[in-house]
Amino acid sequence: MHAEAPRQSPGRPRIAVVGGGIGGLAAAAFLRRAGVMATVYEQAPALKEIGAGILVSPNAVRLLRQLGVMDRFLRDAVPVELAWEFRRWENGRVLSVERLDGVCERLYGERTYTVHRADLLDTVKAAVPEEWVRLGARCTAVEEQPDGVLLHFADGSKAEADVVIGADGVHSVVRATVTEPSTPEYSDICAFRTLVPAERAPAFALRRAHTLWLGPGRHLVHYPVNGGRAVNVVAFAPAGDFTEESWSTTASVEEFLAEFTGWDPRVTDLIRSGGTPGRWALLDRAPLRRWSTPRTTLLGDAAHPMFPFFGQGAAQAMEDGAVLAAALAEGADDIAGALQRYEEARIERATRLQTVSHGRAHVNHLPDGPEQQARDIALADSDPLTANGWIYAYEAAL
């Protein structure tokens, strides 16, 4: 049995997107905007996000505006007024803080927001026709043939396409078609996350602030999401022998608290106010040197998984989607060339973000001592909004 795909207009490539996460849906939405049809194959029975909150920076907001979904986005997004509010772990002393309201918009034309991942996914989904999405379709292999690509699914069905976009996340199946398999390395960092309902959250955590508490070997980030109805808390700590890279694995509140013993009581109270924490290991992957074959390419975490310390994984996945759609729309009669142009336009930037995100783990987790003191002095003088201009000013175009 072949999974049925929407009919593509003559002369247009049949495009299969494997994965209906933020990146895959963004690619489909930008293809639609360019008048090119696609089919999205998503393994889950419904399009929904689990997991944590997400910081949506101006480069990503710009793309949502292009997709015409700002009304949906603003329903639940919280505009950030204070960002990079770095605090010291034991007493909450503010090491640095930057005001964003007014400034961010003036510099980059858009504000920065925090949002729950589910709300961001719903926002992007609003720009994709429902009939383009095949749910419960777990791709197991991609077989390149001389005149097309054959996708195999777990239920035994198959589908044909001219181009396959692997938007299937960090455990990508499609990646095996593009590059040699490689084993991710243990990073010794794991993440805990929890959501605190606004009625149980302390007032300081309900401010429109993106706050990061830095301590030896650990840091904890919080900001409001769901239109201010909840606080997203995500924290990074040594992983020990924990290696599960799954967003659905949980831990106990006690395990989470144990990592933050001795920290400012505002931090431990916040952890206590949340529900059952999720926990996952951050695995380390070296940047890929190429993402594409003549008919298959990758985007988002499938192409360039990154540590979440610059809050750019979803934004980069969306940028990939926008650029890839532009390349395919322009280069319908030369698919291999279009995929090559996409890769060339994107790989340097995504690799740079992988690299800087990786380096941040060391800086955020310094033990107390001279290096940490030097970091804190540097933070006091820092201006991330301007220093990260190369990230936020980016126009996702060929």
Give contact residues for ligand FAD (rule: CB under 6 A): 18-24, 41-44, 52, 54-55, 137-139, 167-170, 173, 191, 234, 300-302, 308, 311-315, 317
From the CB of 169, what's the least distance to ligand FAD, in Å? 3
Cβ proximity to ligand FAD, 13 vs 24, nearer residue: 24
Residue 196 or 315: which CB sits closer to ligand FAD?
Answer: 315
Q: Rounded CA gap, 164 and 293, in Å? A: 10
Nearer to ligand FAD, 82 or 332 (CB): 82
Closer CB to ligand FAD, 276 or 373, in the complex: 276
If the CB atoms of residues 98 and 301 are measured against ligand FAD, the closer one turns out to be: 301
Q: Please indicate whether residue 342 is annotated as part of the active site.
A: no
Query: β-pairing, 163-166 with 38-41?
Result: unpaired
Question: How many whole angstroms separate alpha carbon 340 and alpha carbon 331?
Answer: 10
- Axis crossing angle, helix 313-330 with helix 58-66, rounded to the nearest 10: 40
Smallest distance from ligand FAD to CB 174, Å: 8
Contacts of 204 (CB under 8 A, 6+ apart): 211, 266
Q: How many CB atoms lie within 10 A of CB 156?
A: 8
b (16+ CB within 10 A) / e for 185-224: eebbbbbbbbbbeeeebeeebbbbbbbbbbbeebbbbbbb
Q: How far is the CB of 370 from ligand FAD (least distance, A)?
A: 30
Minimum CB distance to ligand FAD, residue 59 (Å) = 9
- Rounded to a whole number of angstroms, the minimum distance from the CB of residue 292 to ligand FAD is 16
What tokens does 281 get?
A: 């290991």
Q: Which of 108, 113, 223, 392 is catalytic?
A: 223
Q: What is the DSSP letter of 272?
A: H
Indicate the SS3 state at residue 104: helix
Contact partners, residue 370, CB within 8 Å, separation at least 6: none
User: Could you tell me the strand order of the sheet in which 148-153 lies?
Assistant: 139-145, 148-153, 158-161
Catalytic positions = 223
